[in-house]
């Protein structure tokens, strides 16, 4: 713990002991105590020094209003004008634990919620005019608030009309499929479809507002507090006691489900992370950042989960092995709405551990090591450690005579810094691996002190846009030492910060649970001095991917900490290869001329175009024309990731005996090996690996 953080602990605890004795433990007092403690912790101990000034005040003003009304359904420009008297005064209010701004906005919001119920009920009573030529732009972030109540009602009308239109289209598609399968199938009239769609929208809206009314003051005040703490950086968040209990709830472990970790953001349930090897991961369509809007059990009617508490939403998503769940999701990648069918299964944590495969190419054996995360767990007896597992896996591959290693870090969101340093040390003699820095202090250089090199052969590190944090530390170290070629997306995620979860009651004797603060306290720097924040690691060989043109990663988060640099650490590049630059150039030429990669690049551009197109026609004919045109375009990319390398992947010898005894493991490995043989990125990584030539030992000694 830094001296700054320790000082904050002592100071806040002593002051707050006195404050706690003077309150009546009512909610307003609890709110003030929370504000006081959070303000002191953040201003004293967050990685960045943040002035609580007019800019800070404006950020909180905007974020809180957007947090309550992201779709511009409640507030009008008159409301915003009323709120603006506090726009540049929130910083001063916070210094005095004054919540006048919160009370004004929240009070207005609760009254607007009551109005909204009458709006949607009236609007859904009669059919919409789908012959009228009008459009709706669903980029609500860029939309202005309604000028008055009449325009606000029109906003509601358009949003409800779009929801109805989407349901009509979905039902028509279902009828077409049924008509092609069944003789004498009776197709419903458009009027009936429209009526049923409106009733379904009404039902979903009623359920949404029942859930909204169940939310308590604590839930809404948490939104305000997150507007405050989020002004420091996007990874600093406040968690109310109930949210803390549900934080990062895992659909894996001993549960039967889809294998996804879910997180609540406002009224939406987000996919935080997929469990490697789980049902959702295998199915392939669900991705981190997607928003789950509806959940259906098999072919039953979907349930709208927007506004639902996280633990309640999880109950509907979980289920028995072998059962189907259909998720209606809003895709992070382009904002499109997609129905994803997943067959639930038992999700086992084994799949999050290191595993390897052997493949033969041009008469030589190569090893591929999959590292889903940098794991370590001191709470478990006989805990697994990714560094120890990696060392063991390399030894096993060495015994089988592999000529090189591909280390797959795709979708690896990080984990233990300790294991990232130790794993880096398996490939270098000794020396610095990463630099870490607390606020106001000099960087601390973390070294590999073990002179042993577990693997001195050729290495290719495979990354993508989801490779983050500890993954970036390892990839950066391998790149800075010129120990490996980094291949994958243009750049990794770019998360170069470290957060610590602090229970707030540590700072006070107040008797009620105040929740926790997840706060950024450190920043990572490469041994070359540059931060991994924002920039991440640029691949030596960039391969087109679906994310190539997307706004994605740390650099696209509002308020993300900036890139900077510190003094370079003292290190010597290994210069292990004779043809390092030539191999990179060969791969770039191969990728540029490859028809598959050209198609992927075109697909990425198409996705970007769709992401930017947020306007929809509310005229039925034009809407269906747009949908058909998009489907036609999508057909061109139907086979974009269809690929067959003809490479045969197999388990290392030690695992063969285990597979004979364990049919579940055998099926998992069979499925993984098939996936690898159809992976165009793995194929190119092996091309690169097979071309790398190590320098003779005498030349290395001279270097």
pLDDT exceeds cutoff 50 at 250: no
- pLDDT class for 552, splitting at 50, 70, 90? confident
pLDDT at 14: 33
More confident residue, 154 or 332: 154
pLDDT at 159: 93
pLDDT at 469: 95
Dihedral (CA of 264, 270, 275, 279) sign: positive
Helix (H, G, I), strand (E, B) or coil at 42: helix
| Tokens at 119, concatenated | 């709006």
Contact (Cβ atoms closer than 8 angstroms) between residue 153 and residue 76: no
- pLDDT class for 267, splitting at 50, 70, 90? low
pLDDT at 25: 33
Contact (Cβ atoms closer than 8 angstroms) between residue 496 and residue 543: no
Radius of gyration of the chain (CA): 28
pLDDT at 336: 77
The helix (H) or strand (E) run that includes residue 6 is: helix 3-21
- CA nearest 653: which of 385, 370, 401? 401
Lowest average pLDDT, out of 188-202, 335-349, 350-364, 625-639, goes to 335-349
More confident residue, 166 or 382: 166
Arithmetic mean of pLDDT over the chain: 88
Region 343-353 average pLDDT: 74
Region 648-662 average pLDDT: 93
Q: Which CATH superfamily is domain 353-496+531-702 in?
A: 2-enoyl-CoA Hydratase; Chain A, domain 1 (3.90.226.10)
pLDDT exceeds cutoff 60 at 251: no
CA 652, 657, 661 angle in degrees (round to 5)? Answer: 135
Q: Which residue shows structure tokens 């092995």?
A: 321
> Which backbone phi and psi does 484 adopt, to 5 degrees?
-145, 160
pLDDT exceeds cutoff 60 at 518: yes
Region 29-54 average pLDDT: 93
Lowest average pLDDT, out of 106-110, 284-288, 331-335, 638-642, goes to 331-335
Question: For residue 22, what are the contacts with CB-CB under 8 A and spacing of at least 6?
Answer: none
What DSSP assignment string belongs to 139-197? -TTTSPPBSSHHHHHHHHHHHHHHHHHHHHHHHHHHHHHHHHHSTTPPPPPHHHHHHHH
Lowest average pLDDT, out of 126-130, 304-308, 356-360, goes to 304-308
pLDDT one-digit tens code per residue, 609-652: 888 888 999 999 999 998 888 888 888 998 999 999 989 999 99
Region 506-519 average pLDDT: 90
- CA nearest 12: which of 505, 517, 501, 499? 505
pLDDT exceeds cutoff 70 at 285: yes
pLDDT at 273: 78
Length of the chain: 703
- pLDDT class for 331, splitting at 50, 70, 90? confident
pLDDT at 352: 75
The share of the chain scoring above pLDDT 70, in percent, equals 90
Contact (Cβ atoms closer than 8 angstroms) between residue 343 and residue 382: no
Dihedral (CA of 407, 488, 373, 324) sign: negative
| Tokens at 623, concatenated | 């809407």
pLDDT at 137: 92
- pLDDT class for 24, splitting at 50, 70, 90? very low
pLDDT at 300: 85
pLDDT at 29: 83
Question: What are the CA-CA distances from residue 615 to residues 138, 351, 609, 612 (Å)?
Answer: 6, 41, 12, 9
**Using CA atoms, how far apart are residues 43 and 51, in angstroms rounded to an integer?**
8
- pLDDT class for 19, splitting at 50, 70, 90? very low
pLDDT at 9: 36
Lowest average pLDDT, out of 16-20, 27-31, 283-287, goes to 16-20
- pLDDT class for 699, splitting at 50, 70, 90? low
Q: Residues spanned by CATH 2.30.42.10 within the chain?
A: 253-346
More confident residue, 248 or 398: 398
pLDDT exceeds cutoff 70 at 243: no
pLDDT at 562: 95
- pLDDT class for 155, splitting at 50, 70, 90? very high
**Using CA atoms, how far apart are residues 1 and 4, in angstroms rounded to an integer?**
8
Region 513-535 average pLDDT: 96
Region 600-607 average pLDDT: 94
**Using CA atoms, how far apart are residues 121 and 530, in angstroms rounded to an integer?**
56
| Tokens at 543, concatenated | 């391969």
More confident residue, 272 or 432: 432
The CATH code for residues 253-346 is 2.30.42.10
pLDDT exceeds cutoff 70 at 239: yes
pLDDT exceeds cutoff 80 at 487: yes
Region 373-384 average pLDDT: 70
pLDDT at 248: 40
pLDDT at 26: 43
Q: Residues spanned by CATH 3.90.226.10 within the chain?
A: 353-496+531-702
């Amino acid at each position: 713990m830094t001296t700054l953080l320790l000082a904050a602990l002592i100071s806040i605890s002593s002051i707050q002991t006195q404050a706690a004795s003077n309150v009546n433990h009512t909610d307003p007092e609890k709110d003030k105590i929370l504000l006081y403690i959070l303000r002191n912790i953040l201003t004293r101990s967050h990685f960045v020094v943040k002035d609580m000034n007019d800019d800070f005040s404006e950020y909180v003003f905007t974020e809180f209003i957007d947090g309550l009304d992201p779709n511009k359904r409640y507030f009008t420009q008159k409301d915003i004008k009323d709120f603006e008297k506090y726009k540049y005064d929130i910083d001063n209010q916070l210094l005095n634990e004054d919540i006048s701004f919160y009370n004004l906005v929240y009070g207005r919001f609760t009254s607007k919620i009551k109005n909204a119920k009458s709006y949607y009920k009236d609007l859904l009573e009669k059919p919409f005019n789908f012959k009228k030529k009008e459009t709706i732009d669903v980029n609500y972030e860029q939309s202005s608030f309604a000028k008055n109540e009449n325009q606000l009602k029109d906003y509601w009308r358009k949003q409800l009309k779009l929801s109805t239109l989407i349901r009509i289209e979905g039902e028509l598609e279902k009828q077409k499929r049924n008509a092609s399968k069944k003789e004498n199938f009776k197709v419903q009239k458009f009027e009936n479809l429209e009526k049923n769609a409106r009733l379904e929208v009404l039902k979903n809206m009623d359920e949404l507002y029942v859930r909204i009314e169940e939310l308590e003051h604590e839930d809404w005040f948490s939104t305000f507090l997150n507007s405050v703490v989020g002004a420091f950086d996007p990874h600093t968040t406040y968690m109310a006691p109930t949210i803390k209990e549900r934080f990062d709830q895992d659909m894996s472990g001993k549960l039967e489900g889809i294998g996804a970790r879910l997180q609540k953001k406002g009224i939406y349930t987000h996919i935080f992370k997929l469990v490697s090897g789980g049902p959702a991961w295998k199915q392939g369509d669900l991705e981190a950042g997607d928003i789950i809007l509806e959940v259906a059990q098999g072919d039953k009617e979907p349930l709208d989960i927007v506004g639902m508490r996280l633990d309640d939403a999880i109950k509907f998503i979980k289920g028995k092995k072998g059962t189907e769940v259909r998720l209606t999701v809003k895709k992070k990648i382009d904002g499109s709405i997609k129905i994803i069918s997943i067959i639930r299964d038992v999700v086992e944590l084994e799949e999050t551990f290191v595993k390897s495969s052997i493949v033969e190419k041009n008469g030589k054996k190569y090893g591929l090591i999959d590292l889903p995360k940098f794991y370590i767990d001191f709470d478990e007896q006989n805990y697994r450690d990714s560094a120890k597992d990696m060392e063991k896996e390399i030894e096993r591959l060495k015994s089988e005579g592999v000529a090189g290693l591909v280390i797959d870090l795709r979708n690896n969101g990080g984990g233990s810094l300790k294991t990232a340093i130790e794993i880096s040390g398996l490939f270098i003699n000794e020396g610095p691996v990463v630099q870490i820095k607390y606020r106001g202090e000099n960087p601390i250089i973390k070294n590999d002190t073990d002179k042993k090199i577990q693997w001195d052969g050729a290495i290719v590190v495979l990354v993508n846009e989801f490779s983050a944090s500890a993954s970036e530390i390892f990839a950066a170290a391998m790149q800075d030492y010129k120990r490996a070629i980094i291949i994958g997306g243009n750049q990794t995620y770019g998360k170069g910060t470290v957060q610590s979860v602090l229970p707030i009651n540590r700072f006070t004797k107040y008797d009620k649970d105040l929740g926790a603060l997840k706060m950024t306290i450190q920043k990572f720097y490469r041994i070359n001095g540059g931060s991994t924040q924002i920039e991440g690691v640029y691949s030596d060989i960039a391969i087109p991917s679906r994310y190539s043109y997307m706004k994605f990663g740390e650099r696209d988060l509002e308020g993300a900490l900036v890139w900077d640099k510190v003094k370079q650490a003292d290190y010597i590049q290994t210069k292990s290869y004779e043809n390092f630059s030539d191999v990179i150039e060969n791969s770039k030429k191969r990728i540029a001329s490859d028809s598959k990669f050209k198609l992927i690049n075109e697909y990425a551009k198409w996705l970007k175009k769709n992401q930017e197109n947020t306007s929809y026609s509310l005229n039925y004919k034009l809407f269906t024309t747009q949908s058909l045109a998009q489907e036609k375009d999508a057909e061109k990319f139907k086979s974009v990731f269809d690929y067959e390398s003809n490479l045969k992947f197999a388990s290392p010898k030690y695992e063969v005996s285990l597979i004979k005894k364990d049919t579940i493991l055998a099926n998992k490995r069979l499925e993984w090996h098939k996936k690898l043989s159809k992976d165009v990125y793995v194929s190119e990584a092996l091309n690169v690996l097979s071309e790398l030539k190590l320098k003779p030992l005498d030349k290395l000694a001279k270097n």
